[in-house]
Amino acid sequence: MPTLPGDRLTLTRPDDWHIHLRDGAMLRAVMPDVAARFARAIVMPNLKPPVVTAADARAYRERILVAVPEGLRFEPLMTLYLTRDTTPEIIREAAREGWVKAVKWYPTGATTNSDFGVADVRPLSAVLEAMQETGLPLLMHGEVVDAEVDIFDREKVFIDRTLSRLVEDFPGLRMVMEHITTREAAQFVREAPANLGATITVHHLLYNRNAMLAGGIRPHYYCLPILKREVHRQALLEAATGGNPKFFLGTDSAPHPTDAKQSDCGCAGSYTAHAAIELYAEAFDSVGRLDRLEAFASFHGPDFYGLPRNTDTLTLMREPRPVPERIEVEAGVTLTPLRAGERVSWRVAS
Ligand code: DOR
Ligand code: ZN
């Protein structure tokens, strides 16, 4: 099929500033999707057991590199999981390894494998100071977990109770509010000093909570922070496509076996790595802002982290392609991608 000029989009190769790659068979299953699109990714440390030291990160990084398909280049940017046992020395040692790029804070109980997290970071101020000194950013799952706070309000309450204080107390610490989902978060990040940035997932740009709950309950749209109302989706689209360098691409692609999602107590997480950049192109195109995709996907992230931008490119073609119902992980285990059995409007040119 001939391609019209508007149907072809060449970008500086993008990076993913928030992804879950898992381990073992799942890691091997997802790596081809990730490496075909992204040059680098910030790899989340919420394995079982979590990645808590430079030695853990080194071993995990090697397993990731082994899973990169031949002929593709991919650079994993590693993170440590902040626990009550994290010390300033652990931070300094990790920072000396050039490939540890950040520390992730999961409030205890906030999401998948967050049991080792800490409820509050204030008792860890010596650790935060070591991060500030060594230049390692603090990545936050920005939700409170109190049972009395409604699940749809957890992000906003986190900003009011915790983030506003942190930003005041640590002006020299780079921080990323991960996967923001609300108008309030977009506004807070926009108005905060330059040391606070935010990632935005593609599922929060494309879907509101109806996708998960209207006309039937759809577990593959269940993720944390949970999908919100349409007004929030619109605010996120505005933030992502507005050209502000504080906002950058982070898919939060979070694969789980199909059985673990479709169960009495299904896990949180949507798998989007199979079509990540294509879906972002759909979202940007929906508001006529494909021209802003490259900055969001390929410039703002490395600029925030102080890393060089990629020098090679990736080309997308506007050409619908089907999404499989299931992806094989290993014998008896599948993964259900977002949009399973439907279509995506773009494809990556080979
Ligand atoms: O939906 C989510 N899944 N949100 C997270 O924060 C964690 C992730 C996972 O690891 O499955
Ligand atoms: Zn995540």
Is ligand 1 within 6 A of the CB of residue 344?
no
pLDDT at 161: 95
List, for residues 50-79, the tens digit of each pLDDT value.
999 999 999 999 999 999 999 999 999 999
The ligand 1 atom nearest the CA atom of 113: 10
How is 275-340 classified by DSSP, letter by letter?
Answer: GHHHHHHHHHHHTT-GGGHHIIIIIHHHHHHT-PPP-SEEEEEEEEEEPPS-EEEETTEEE--TTT
Q: How far is the CA of 252 from the centre of ligand 2 (A)?
A: 4
Annotated domain spans of the chain: 15-308
pLDDT at 1: 40
Q: Which CATH superfamily is domain 15-308 in?
A: Metal-dependent hydrolases (3.20.20.140)
For residue 261, which ligand has an atom nearest its CA? 1
pLDDT at 119: 87
Which residue minimizes the CA distance to atom 3 of ligand 1? Answer: 269
Is ligand 1 within 6 A of the CB of residue 20?
yes
Q: Is 252 a catalytic residue?
A: yes
pLDDT at 350: 77
**Which residue in 208, 202, 126 sits closest to 170, CA to CA?**
126
Instruction: Give the mutation target among 224, 251, 261, 270 for probing the ligand 1 site: most ligand atoms within 8 A of CB.
Output: 224
The 10 Å CB-count burial string (b at 16+, else e) for 231-245 is ebbebbbbbbbeebe
Q: Collect the ranges in the chain with pLDDT lower than 70.
A: 1-5
Is ligand 1 within 6 A of the CB of residue 269?
yes
The ligand 1 atom nearest the CA atom of 267: 11
As a whole number of angstroms, the distance between CA 265 and CA 59 comes to 32
As a whole number of angstroms, the distance between CA 56 and CA 286 comes to 41
pLDDT at 115: 83
Q: How far is the CA of 256 from the centre of ligand 1 (A)?
A: 9
Please pick, among 252, 259, 285, 312, the residue that the annotation labels catalytic: 252
Q: How far is the CA of 10 from the centre of ligand 1 (A)?
A: 30
